[in-house]
Amino acid sequence: SEKAEVKMYSDFKSPYAYLAFDPGMTLGQRFNVHVRWIPFQLRLKGKGERSVYSEYKVKYSYMDARRWAKPRGLWIRGPLKIYDTTPTAIGELFAETQGRLLDFGRMAFKKFFLREFEADQPEAVAGLLADLGMSDRHYLEYLAGEGREAYECCQQEAAADHVFGVPFFLFAGEPFWGYDRLAL
């Protein structure tokens, strides 16, 4: 029988999406499902644009994410700016066409949260892909054409699925938002 699909929406600037990436992508090893990774661009306000209460929430969120990351040997440092992660999302879509979605996703998340990767810079994404043995030139071509179209289709799909944050899972029409919802 055909496996049921679990959609997993993610953004590379989210520490909770980082925490959910490996466990989410391996759901198909534990259950009779196919996991489909889909990029979703979080629209975040920068420092000075948020209320004081939102600032408290941001600080708490990174502290909380570090609590979950530590037992898994992951390191999370908060980014120093708000990133438009479109180039990295398209890089992940490109890596998927090369059969390397997991490799790229793991490396991009890890380096981003170590502050070793500028997720908004196409050249940095191309370099990361090259480090993993993929063609940086083909990525840049993909970014300018087919990849941009694929990314826009993902954003439209997210809107149709009413995605508002990440990680966001959709299974059998039911939404699950947050890293802590994986067990459900």
Q: Cβ contacts of residue 164 below 8 Å, gap of 6+?
A: 177
Distance CA 8, CA 81 (A): 25
Question: Per-residue pLDDT averaged across 176-182, rounded?
Answer: 88
DSSP-derived pairing of the beta strands 4-10 and 33-39: parallel
Per-residue confidence (pLDDT) for residue 46, from 0 to 100? 65
DSSP-derived pairing of the beta strands 168-171 and 174-177: antiparallel
Number of H helices, E strands in the chain: 8, 4
pLDDT exceeds 70 at position 170 = yes
pLDDT band (50, 70, 90) for residue 2: confident
Distance CA 21, CA 105 (A): 8
Question: Per-residue pLDDT averaged across 176-183, rounded?
Answer: 87
Per-residue confidence (pLDDT) for residue 74, from 0 to 100? 96
List, for residues 112-153, the tens digit of each pLDDT value. 999 999 999 999 999 999 999 999 999 999 999 999 999 999
List, for residues 63-107, the tens digit of each pLDDT value. 999 999 999 999 999 898 889 999 999 999 999 999 999 999 999
Per-residue confidence (pLDDT) for residue 56, from 0 to 100? 87
Per-residue confidence (pLDDT) for residue 51, from 0 to 100? 81
List, for residues 9-66, the tens digit of each pLDDT value. 999 999 999 999 999 999 999 999 999 999 999 877 666 777 888 888 888 999 999 9
Q: Cβ contacts of residue 167 below 8 Å, gap of 6+?
A: 8, 9, 10, 14, 16, 17, 19, 20, 21, 24, 177, 178, 179
Per-residue confidence (pLDDT) for residue 184, from 0 to 100? 76
- Taking the model in full, what pTM does it have? 0.92
Residue pair 16/76 in contact by the 8 Å Cβ criterion: no
Per-residue confidence (pLDDT) for residue 1, from 0 to 100? 67
Per-residue confidence (pLDDT) for residue 49, from 0 to 100? 77
Residue pair 97/129 in contact by the 8 Å Cβ criterion: no
Please, how many CA atoms are within 13 Å of residue 98, restricted to the half-sphere of its CB? 23
Per-residue confidence (pLDDT) for residue 181, from 0 to 100? 83
Residues paired with 169 in a beta bridge: 8, 176
